[in-house]
Chains A and B, each alone.
Chain A
Amino acid sequence: MKNLVFLIIGIFFGIVMFKSEAASWFRIYEMFQFKSFHMYGIIGSALMLGIIVVQIIKRRELKHMGGGTIEFVPKEKSFARYMFGGIIFGLGWALAGACPGPMFTLLGAGFFPILIVIGGAVAGTWVYGLLKNKLPH
């Protein structure tokens, strides 16, 4: 039953990713060319509303459906991993034109070469796990 809730949230998210065109390679390219407000508007408005939602949840100590208080785990302090990891991610995001959510949306939409991208992403994650202790964090 609980899994059905997550499936429905995922379906909603997938539809939004496709219909917003955030899953379009062209929109990502255009964003990095600063030639349209579209992607900045999406991220910016999501963020503005997101900040308000998080503040309300924190101040009112709201509970989730399991009954516990909604908690936010702070990200661990570091610079190197976020900057280097972020740059590597950005290189891939611009090349493949898809981040990890839209990849799955595009698969559902029937763009099957995205399977190669997903395979690459799984491989990249795996290799990161193997090299983790040798990288600056």
Chain B
Amino acid sequence: MSWIYEPWPWYVSGPLIAATMAALLFAGKNFGMSSNLRTVCAALGAGKNCDFFCFDWRGQRWNLFVMAGAIIGGFIAMHFLSDNPVPDINPDVIAQLKQKGFESAGSSYLPTELFSNQAFSSAKTLGLLVLGGFLVGFGARYAGGCTSGHAISGLSNLQLPSFVAVIGFFIGGLIMVHLLFPILF
């Protein structure tokens, strides 16, 4: 059973993601995590002055349970199923990141430069995190889905629009990492 504490290889993880999608289909729903962000907006009262959020968000409660589960799953995986979780990333990438000031590359799950609690006291870090989140939320709704809705659900159903969206995800990611990171970090 010790394998469970190790990072799970791609050929285990990928099929388990497909199993998540299948479980939701057999539960009568579709796999799509970013819809929850819209539901949260509606629950916070965004429907008062905007039609896009004027729907019965309680009908989406099932997905909020999936979201709550994802939080609990993160807690369980971190505290009960991991033994010092550090991704074994490419040494070239570690060297490159260290040069950019990410000293935690190769020794932590997330860069402590962005995700330790010191982030709360750095204006630059706060700004980058807000901006990253904002682009994810705006882009996911504009594109009508995120990685789960397009790259997994949509492409599994051979939807051309999802293929366009996934190409967009990669164009955006490549621009950020190759053109904007040298300016930001």
A: which residues have CB within 8 A of B?
2-33, 35-51, 53-54, 57, 62, 64-66, 68, 70, 72-79, 81-101, 103-114, 116-130, 132, 135
Q: Which residues of chain B have C-beta atoms less than 8 A from A91's C-beta?
A: 135, 139, 172-173, 175-176, 180
**Given A26-B89, A47-B152, A53-B18 in contact, is the A75-B73 Cβ separation under 8 Å?**
no
Contact check, B10 vs A20: say whether CB atoms are below 8 A apart: yes
Count how many pairs of residues, one from A and one from B, have CB atoms less than 8 Å apart in the complex: 498
Q: Given A26, A112, A116, which contacts B133 in the complex, CB threshold below 8 Å?
A: A116
User: What separation, in Å, do the CA atoms of A69 and B88 have in the docked complex?
Assistant: 43
**Given A47-B156, A50-B155, A70-B25 in contact, is the A123-B133 Cβ separation under 8 Å?**
yes
Q: Given A4, A12, A81, which contacts B23 in the complex, CB threshold below 8 Å?
A: A12
30 contacts between A and B (CB under 8 A): A11-B72, A13-B70, A14-B72, A16-B13, A18-B82, A21-B85, A35-B93, A41-B11, A46-B14, A47-B151, A47-B156, A50-B18, A75-B144, A81-B144, A83-B168, A85-B141, A88-B138, A89-B136, A91-B180, A93-B173, A101-B70, A104-B67, A105-B70, A105-B73, A106-B110, A109-B78, A117-B129, A124-B136, A125-B138, A130-B50
Q: Smallest CB–CB gap between A46 and chain B, Å?
A: 4
Q: Size class of B's contact patch?
A: 35 or more
Contact check, A14 vs B147: say whether CB atoms are below 8 A apart: no
Q: Given A6, A79, A104, A127, which contacts B138 in the complex, CB threshold below 8 Å?
A: A127
Contact check, A104 vs B161: say whether CB atoms are below 8 A apart: no
Q: Which residues of chain A have C-beta atoms less than 8 A from B130's C-beta?
A: 116-117, 119-120, 123
Contact check, B172 vs A81: say whether CB atoms are below 8 A apart: no
Contact check, A10 vs B66: say whether CB atoms are below 8 A apart: yes
Interface of B is mostly: helix
By beta carbon, the residue of chain B nearest A40 is B10
Name the 8 nearest CB pairs between A and B, nearest first.
A10-B69, A86-B168, A14-B73, A90-B172, A120-B133, A92-B135, A85-B143, A124-B137
By beta carbon, the residue of chain B nearest A91 is B172
Contact check, A14 vs B93: say whether CB atoms are below 8 A apart: no
Contact check, A86 vs B171: say whether CB atoms are below 8 A apart: yes
Contact check, A113 vs B177: say whether CB atoms are below 8 A apart: no
